[in-house]
Structure 1
Amino acid sequence: MVAADDGTWPLDFPTLYVVPDWIAQHCRLESVGGLVRGPQPFEMYDWQLRCTAHFYRVRTEARIGQLSTAFCFRRGQVVAPQKSGKGPWTAGITAAEAVGPVLFAGWAEGGEVHDCRSYGCGCGWVYEYEPGEPMGRPWSTPLIQITATSEDQTDNVYRPLQAMIRNGPLGELMRVGEQFIRLPNDGRIDVVTSSAQSRLGNPVTFVIQDETGIWTETNKMTKVATTQRRGLAGMSGRSLETTNGWDPSENSVAQKTAETQAKDVYRFHRLPPKGLSYRNKAERRKIHAHVYEGSRHIDLDAIEGEAAELLEKEPAEAERFFGNRLVAGMGTWLQQDRWDARTQVRELPERARVVLGFDGSDVDDWTGIRAETLDGYQFTPTYGPDARLAIWDPQDWQGQVPRLEVDAAVHDLFERYDVVRMYADPPYWETEVDTWADRYGDKRVVRWYTQRVVQMHAACERLLTDVTKAASSFGHDGCEITSLHVRNARKAARPSNRYVLRKASVLQKIDLAVCSVLAHEAAGDVIAAGEAKAKRRRGRGF
């Protein structure tokens, strides 16, 4: 998974700086900081300016005539808490995409300007480019869609956009209607919802997708998102998602974007510090202060009141909406932030004593190995000349897990580490597990069936306890794939108040979480058997 911007990425790159300046000049709102003072220029907060700069970041090899391909990012996603300012910001971006200088127009050599009068705007504003700065120009026929699950949701963007047009010079170029805005050269901005999908086949140059954390297969918004992206690809256009935190069990559009491996998708998500409890009022205040940083109109006391009330009945929802965390609802096995808080990367000596946990599949689920030292440090090992992670997604291997690669990884790990024990779940891998037991000894390679309810429940509880208890020495390497798989794991109820692990949905894998459970169980069993210390080898004369 490609990392998201957490507000610390550098801003030392070429971008269309003309865009935020154009927005400040042309977009005006009556409400500034919650006070009605007459139309005021929309000046971006620092986080909004950061996201704008990244979204309009220009590739150093960009050429005149390129549209979306002139930019580093084909689309973007901004995850921010409730009422932090996403709506007005995306309204400003939409206005710029409608009639502003948002397309790459070459590199300035000195003396070039953007003069609004050249594009039909009589405000008189002129922007002078610095030498070497990328220049911008408007679309000739912009075709824009503001999309959400309902009309009320689209109002988050559409209402401030209407106000920006009516309160400033944009009224000369844009004609406001209830469901669409007419633009020059037969361009337009349309409002699209799940109940008005007839417009989805239209070509588009820019799309706002609002609150994608609730866009799912069930409400048919996943299809909306993919259809719009196909339309954008045909026009070489771009899109921008905004959302609160989402429920990881729902496999929403926002979650798919956040987990994409594509490197041309910009994502901004400022997560709160790890290890803070949202149920603790003092720590909750610190969480709010962090995720709302820079949104000057926010009163943290007001946010606390709403969050505390929602926390009484919908704690996961409160944490997603106001804490900007990705927290699942009922049935979650282990909250991701509790797991992530145990990250403590460290180097291991040669021939370190470890145990291994192996969970295998064939053509659907993933196959993986997790290792753990006997003092409680768990990690995803690497193998082979390229130091590949011991994780195999069948889709990366022509649809089937590469069994020779897995066997090579096991051989490498037994050579590199002092493997005391390996717990391996045999289904689909009986022959390989038998081979490993014969090769390394059946006291070291143990067949451990995860479908045994009593044993699996106990193993899951052991790891859960050691991750969440305050005095635990357990730590791990911060493997992002394992973190996602832990987040996807749900409790599947079984008799006698027990459970085993299941996926939140068919597409949300949990295999590395299972590997972690097996590795931790193996470590605990080795210690309980008194095998934690290496046996001394007696030489001659002793």
Structure 2
Amino acid sequence: MPWRGPSYPGELPTLGWQVLDWMMAYLAAPDRPEYEPFIPTREQAEFVLRYYELHPGTGKRAVRRGVLSRPRGWGKSPFLAAIACAEALGPVVPDGWDAAGEPVGMGWERVRTPLVQVAAVSEDQTRNTWVPLLEMLREGPACDEYPGLEPLDSFVNLPRGRVEQVTSSATSRKGNPGVFVVMDQTEEWMRANGGIRLAQVLRSNAAKIGGSTLESPNAYIPGMGSVAEESFAFWKAIQEGRTRGDGLLVDHREAPPETDPTDRESLVAGLRVAYGDSSDHEDGCVLHDPPCAPGWSPINRLVGDFWDTSNDPQTLRSDFLNQITHATDSWISQPEWAGCAAPDTVVGPGEQIVLGFDGSRRRNRGITDATALIGCRVSDGHLFEIRVWEQPSGPAGKNWEVPVPEVLAEVDAAFARWKVIGMYADPAKWESHVRGWEAKYGRQLKVKSTGSHPIEWWMTGGRASLIVRALRAFHDAVVDRELTHTGPALTRHVLNARRSESRSGLQIRKEHPDSARKIDAAVAATLAWQCRLDALSKNVTRRTVLVLR
């Protein structure tokens, strides 16, 4: 087994080794003229090891929901078919520990009658996983080793239990809890085609009996409201500590944001990253050292598809580079923003910065807008998230209000920590506090919005031309990579922003007024960037004086 070794990236015990051994022992590789055992790639094996991790204390499986996001042709469907077979027959249920302290697995049939489901919003989509699943069982040793196993065209009879296909008739699924569910192509599961409801029912059913689900999307289009998009939003909330939820494993890899589809060398490099072990490039994969042998995904052929002018570039980025790009009305695309990311950059105490602020209070309905304080280092234009206050999800967010004392304390702390030479704040609903900041700090600021109101910078009212100009300057700085940035909430808010045409020019908005996808940090960043531009144009930044003796 070429992938067995010290490369396992997790720190928790796992049933993954037993699951992998089971797959290779009992399943056939699909789409072969003669029988070959199914051998996962090293990349696939690493995912299995993470998916079947166990909590050391409880011995229970750590992952309840999985998302495996790779480009088209990577091999997601056959791989998920192999996992579905293992869930139906293999050692996927924790059964204690052996004498060496290693975890032991058993089949679901020892616990309950297993039902494994292959789900999609259409029957054609379920065939992506269903066809290789049948071939793996029919052509491999599984039928000989498991008496009563019958892989029929429309369902699979297990020695005890069943594997079945499921489509968007979500209401009919309530009484059929699956121990494991494949959810294929969830970037296409929308409210309109019943995908959102189907996903909710399948997950709820699996949760009742301690089962799990596994999604296999390509890159989703932001703003479409797909199941894949909502899963990524949940994952980001977990990473940022905005929810107490857990049990979600997201494995997404895309080509680097600097990948240039018009440059062959850059495009090939990006495709090799996206396709990993499945890349057929003669130099092997780029994931492992030494590299794995070439796979099956035709990199040179995909280059030709990118240069076919009849193909849509955004679709190609999503399908083959697996890049989460942007909605058709996005203000800034994900590759553009990611190209400016500088996650390891630190702005040290005493450095010269400017601030941008956009605040809110409370809404009578819907979700309260966020309040954001963003800094920008004057010397190089690095934007950084100082603090973003957002309404928590779930019960913790009921009747939530922006904690005004915390906001005021954070602003005071920023002035104490850095050398703040300017601050622009949209005063809407914060007029008295902005006036207080002007009284407290106005005289020390080197760059001011106006003589009488050095901090007040309205993003509404009769200032449309100034707002349009500031937004354009920020957008151009991103596209031309004149700025860098850090901060998860800042990234979310910038990518949430939608273009809005006005008589004065392009402005930004939320996708709809009551949307939970906020843009306040994007507004604060725009104000901070405009403040920096004004500081540079007025030549008020700190200078170094060279004294000759």
Structure 1 length as normaliser, TM-score?
0.85
Q: Do residues 407 (structure 1) and 408 (structure 2) align?
A: yes
Q: Are the equivalent residues in 2 in contact too, given 1:30–1:38 (CA < 8 A)? A: no
Task: Tell me what 1:154 maps to.
Answer: 126
Alignment of 1:381-530 (within 5 A): 381-382=385-386, 390-395=387-392, 399-441=400-442, 445-451=454-460, 452-469=463-480, 472=482, 474-477=483-486, 479-496=487-504, 498-504=505-511, 506-530=515-539
User: Match of 1:516, as an amino acid?
Assistant: A
Q: Distance in 2 between matches of 1:437 and 1:418?
A: 16
For residue 293 of structure 1, give the secondary structure of its aligned residue in structure 2: helix
The superposition leaves residues 163-193 of structure 1 with CA deviations (integer Å, 9 ceiling, x where unpaired) of 11211233344323343222233x2222111
2:169 matched to 1:170? no
| Structure 1 counterpart SS, 2:276 | coil
Could you tell me which amino acid in structure 1 is paired with residue 20 of structure 2?
P
Say which SS state the counterpart of residue 39 (structure 1) adopts: coil
Residues 90, 208 of structure 1: 8 Å contact kept: yes
C-alpha separation between the residues in 1 aligned to 2:36 and 2:221?
Answer: 37
**Match of 1:117?**
none
Q: 1:515 to 1:439 in 2, by over 3 A?
A: same
Distance in structure 2 (CA, Å) of the matches to 1:103 and 1:222: 28
Q: Deviations over 1:187-233 (max 9, x none)?
A: 22221112464124422211111111122223221121112111111
Matches within 5 A, 1:170-209: 170-171=142-143, 172-185=147-160, 187-195=161-169, 197-209=171-183
Could you tell me how far 1:347 is from its partner in structure 2? 3.4
The answer to whether structure 1 residue 215 and structure 2 residue 189 are counterparts is yes
SS of residue paired to 1:459: helix
Q: Does 1:350 align with 2:349?
A: yes
- The reply on whether 1:377 has 2:365 as its aligned counterpart is no
Match of 2:296 in 1: 297
Amino acid at match of 1:165: L
Q: Would the alpha carbon gap of residues 453 and 175 (structure 1) be closer, same or farther in structure 2, given more than 3 Å must change? A: farther
For these two proteins, the number of residue pairs brought into alignment is 485
**Aligned partners of 1:135, 1:514: CA distance in 2, in Å?**
53
- What are the Cα deviations for residues 92-121 of structure 1, in whole angstroms up to 9, with x where unaligned? 000011111110111111xxxxxxxxxxxx
State whether structure 2 residue 81 is matched by structure 1 residue 91.
Answer: yes
Distance 2:434 2:117 in 1: 54
Relative to structure 1, the CA distance from residue 9 to residue 38 in structure 2 (aligned partners, 3 Å threshold; closer, same or farther) is: closer
* Corresponding residue of 1:20: 20
The alignment's TM-score, normalised by the length of structure 2, stands at 0.84
Q: CA deviation at 1:312?
A: 4.2
Distance 1:440 1:456, change over 3 A: same
Query: How far apart are residue 349 of structure 1 and its match?
Result: 3.9
> Using a 3 Å threshold, how does the CA distance of structure 1 residues 501 and 312 change in structure 2: closer, same or farther?
farther
Aligned to 2:65: 75
1:95-110 matched pairs, under 5 angstroms: 95-109=85-99
Matched with 1:5 is none
Contact map agreement 1:356 1:372 (CA 8 A) in 2:
yes
Partner of residue 40, structure 1:
36
Determine helix, strand or coil for the equivalent of 2:356: strand
Q: Give the SS at the match of 1:22.
A: helix
Distance 1:164 1:381 in 2: 50
**1:132 to partner: Cα distance:** 2.2
**One-letter code of the match for 1:394?**
Q
Shift of 1:305: 2.8
- State the percentage of identical aligned residues: 30
Once residues 481 and 277 of structure 1 are traced to their aligned partners in structure 2, the CA distance between those partners, rounded to angstroms, is 27
Q: CA deviation at 1:522?
A: 0.7
User: 1 CA distance for matches of 2:171 and 2:73?
Assistant: 27
- CA apart distance, 1:534: 6.4
Select the structure with the greater relative contact order (CA < 8 A; seq sep ≥ 6).
1
Take 1:203 and 1:358, find their aligned partners in 2: how far apart are those partners?
48
Q: CA deviation at 1:12?
A: 4.8
Q: Distance in 1 between matches of 2:54 and 2:477?
A: 47
- Distance, in Å, in 2 between the alignment partners of 1:231 and 1:182 is 20
Q: Which amino acid aligns with 1:54?
A: R
* Greater strand fraction, Structure 1 or Structure 2: 1
State the shift of 1:397 in Å.
6.1
Displacement of 1:518 in angstroms is 0.9
Structure-2 residue corresponding to 1:143: 115
Aligned with 1:29: secondary structure?
coil
What is the aligned partner in structure 2 of residue 55 from structure 1? 51
Maintained 8 Å contact 1:211/1:242: yes
- Is the CA contact (8 Å cut-off) linking 1:174 and 1:183 kept in structure 2? yes
Q: 1:184 to 1:299 in 2, by over 3 A?
A: same
Gap change, CA 1:355 and 1:291, over 3 Å in 2: same
**Letter matched to residue 540 of structure 2:** E
Q: CA deviation at 1:371?
A: 0.4
**Equivalence for 2:332:** 334
User: How many angstroms does 1:464 deviate by?
Assistant: 1.6
One-letter identity of the residue aligned with 2:210: S
Post-superposition shift, 1:268? 0.7
State whether residues 352 and 418 of structure 1, in contact with CA within 8 Å, keep that contact through their aligned partners in structure 2. yes
RMSD over aligned Cα atoms: 2.2
